Amino acid sequence: MEPKKLAIIITSVIVLVLLAIFYFWPSYNASCVTKEMQTVNGVSMAGIVENGQNVTVLDGYYRCNKLARDDVIIYNFSGDKNPLIKSVKGIPGDTFSLEQTASGTFIDVDGKRLMTSDGQAYTFDVQRTKMLSLYVDDYHGVIPQNSAIILGNIATGSVDSSQFGLVSADDIIGKVSLH
Describe the strand order of the beta sheet including 96-101 as a list of residue ranges.
96-101, 104-109, 112-113
List the domain range (segments joined by +) for residue 3. 1-30
- The neighbour count for residue 121, using CB atoms within 10 Å, is 14
Looking at the structure, tell me whether residues 93 and 20 fall in a common domain: no
Looking at the structure, tell me whether residues 125 and 144 fall in a common domain: yes
Give the β-pairing of 96-101 and 104-109.
Answer: antiparallel
Looking at the structure, tell me whether residues 60 and 23 fall in a common domain: no
CA nearest to 154, candidates 85, 75, 74:
85
Instruction: Round to the nearest angstrom and report the end-to-end CA distance of the chain.
Output: 49
Looking at the structure, tell me whether residues 106 and 163 fall in a common domain: yes
Contact (CB, 8 A) for 172 and 73: yes
pLDDT tens, N- to C-terminus, the chain (179 residues) = 787 776 677 776 676 665 555 555 544 455 789 999 999 999 999 999 999 999 999 999 999 999 999 999 999 998 678 899 999 999 999 999 999 999 999 999 999 999 999 999 999 998 999 999 999 999 999 999 999 999 999 999 999 999 999 999 999 999 999 87
pLDDT at 107: 97
Looking at the structure, tell me whether residues 53 and 4 fall in a common domain: no
Task: Please give the tally of structural domains in the chain.
Answer: 2
- The neighbour count for residue 109, using CB atoms within 10 Å, is 17
CA nearest to 170, candidates 75, 87, 80, 88:
75
pLDDT at 27: 46
pLDDT at 26: 47
Its sign, for the CA torsion 48, 148, 159, 131, is negative
pLDDT at 28: 44
Looking at the structure, tell me whether residues 62 and 20 fall in a common domain: no
3-state SS, residue 136: helix
Looking at the structure, tell me whether residues 147 and 92 fall in a common domain: yes
Looking at the structure, tell me whether residues 70 and 23 fall in a common domain: no
Looking at the structure, tell me whether residues 15 and 39 fall in a common domain: no
Give the β-pairing of 172-177 and 54-59.
Answer: antiparallel
The pTM score is: 0.81
